[in-house]
Chains A and B, each alone.
Chain A
Amino acid sequence: GENVEQHPSTLSVQEGDSAVIKCTYSDSASNYFPWYKQELGKRPQLIIDIRSNVGEKKDQRIAVTLNKTAKHFSLHITETQPEDSAVYFCAASRGGYQKVTFGTGTKLQVIP
């Protein structure tokens, strides 16, 4: 089955700096890669996703890149703000009825 690894497990940045979280996946058939933000005790919220036919996607301060050959994908947050502090999860899926496999999570702390 799919295996998703995520690094780093914790990340502290100064407000205004950029944050990068990296993930690798094992299943070459995976074609959908969402990123979720989860605050303590809350449900995961989709912040951005990318499909395998696209190499990069951007939404304001958030961008995701995908390297299918290397089976890597990364989340980039620019101009970080204290409200970006949360746990971020990457995930991979074959789409359709297929399950979604989550990475281990990255706790991001933005220091004011």
Chain B
Amino acid sequence: GAVVSQHPSWVICKSGTSVKIECRSLDFQATTMFWYRQFPKQSLMLMATSNEGSKATYEQGVEKDKFLINHASLTLSTLTVTSAHPEDSSFYICSVRTTGSYEQYFGPGTRLTVT
């Protein structure tokens, strides 16, 4: 399967600041990337889907101006949480998929804590 990395693995930031999370596909052309958020003891909730070179498609209820997603290349997507609030504290996981493939490969996740 594909090797997917995320950076950072954990981050603490103050309310009102912004934080950027990177998702890299190391050996795989990630034509589609997904960003999920997972609160403790809950399921993965899809935030947005991005296709390389296109604008991300956000799920209902996810603020696109707060969660900025950039998928500039076939190996890198970034999620920027702007004006972070404590309620944004969560586990953020990306996944990648290539053209014609059903399977998605997950990154290791990023634990965000907003104080």
In contact, A32 and B34 (Cβ under 8 angstroms):
no
In contact, B106 and A43 (Cβ under 8 angstroms):
yes
Count B interface residues, CB 8 Å: 23
Instruction: Please measure, in the bound complex, the distance between the C-alpha atom of A101 and the C-alpha atom of B49, giving whole angstroms.
Output: 12
User: Given A42-B108, A43-B108, A100-B34, are A89 and B44 neighbors across the interface (CB < 8 Å)?
Assistant: yes
Instruction: Please measure, in the bound complex, the distance between the C-alpha atom of A45 and the C-alpha atom of B103, giving whole angstroms.
Output: 11
In contact, B102 and A95 (Cβ under 8 angstroms):
yes
CB distance from A94 to the nearest CB of B (A): 10
In contact, A104 and B104 (Cβ under 8 angstroms):
no
**Contact partners of B100 in chain A: CB under 8 A:** 96
Instruction: Please measure, in the bound complex, the distance between the C-alpha atom of A84 and the C-alpha atom of B33, giving whole angstroms.
Output: 29
B 86-113 binary contact with A (CB < 8 Å = 1; else 0): 0000010100010010111011110100
19 contacts between A and B (CB under 8 A): A32-B102, A43-B106, A43-B107, A43-B108, A44-B93, A49-B102, A89-B43, A93-B102, A95-B102, A96-B100, A96-B102, A97-B31, A97-B51, A99-B34, A100-B34, A102-B43, A102-B44, A103-B43, A105-B43
- Name B residues whose Cβ lies closer than 8 Å to a Cβ of A: 1, 31-32, 34, 42-46, 49, 51, 91, 93, 97, 100, 102-104, 106-109, 111
- Name A residues whose Cβ lies closer than 8 Å to a Cβ of B: 32, 34, 41-46, 49, 51, 89, 93, 95-97, 99-105
